Amino acid sequence: MTDPILARIKANPKYRQLKAQRTGFGTLLSVLMLIVYYGFIALIAFNKDFLGQPLGTDITTTIGIPMGMGVIVFTVLITGIYVNRANREYDTLTQQLLDEARK
């Protein structure tokens, strides 16, 4: 037995648009995150000397510390970007789909 509302949602072109937009944007952000994360890990593995350089003459903190914090900040930033877009665009499209399917 199939649900008629579900069948109408799947047949709606807005559903395919929603899936494509969400998948494409999620994939883009995932690839960016992988590049940033694995780039940092590659620096740790292959260029320790660069990350171990002090930030200044009297400062004991190395370049690696702010770069590692940057990875964390980048993660929070792209999560916020996705949530903002989801709240603004994807939720609106989802509500339109549900309204049209209930008619």
Q: Where are the domains of the chain?
A: 28-102
Q: What are the CA-CA distances from residue 57 to residues 9, 32, 61, 96, 98 (Å)? A: 63, 33, 10, 59, 61
C-alpha–C-alpha distance, residues 93 and 35, integer Å: 30
pTM for this prediction: 0.81
Higher per-residue confidence, 28 vs 60: 28
Q: What is the pLDDT of residues 4-59, one digit of tens each?
A: 888 888 888 889 999 999 999 999 999 999 999 999 999 999 999 999 999 888 88
Give the lowest-confidence range in 4-8, 67-71, 79-83, 88-92. Answer: 4-8
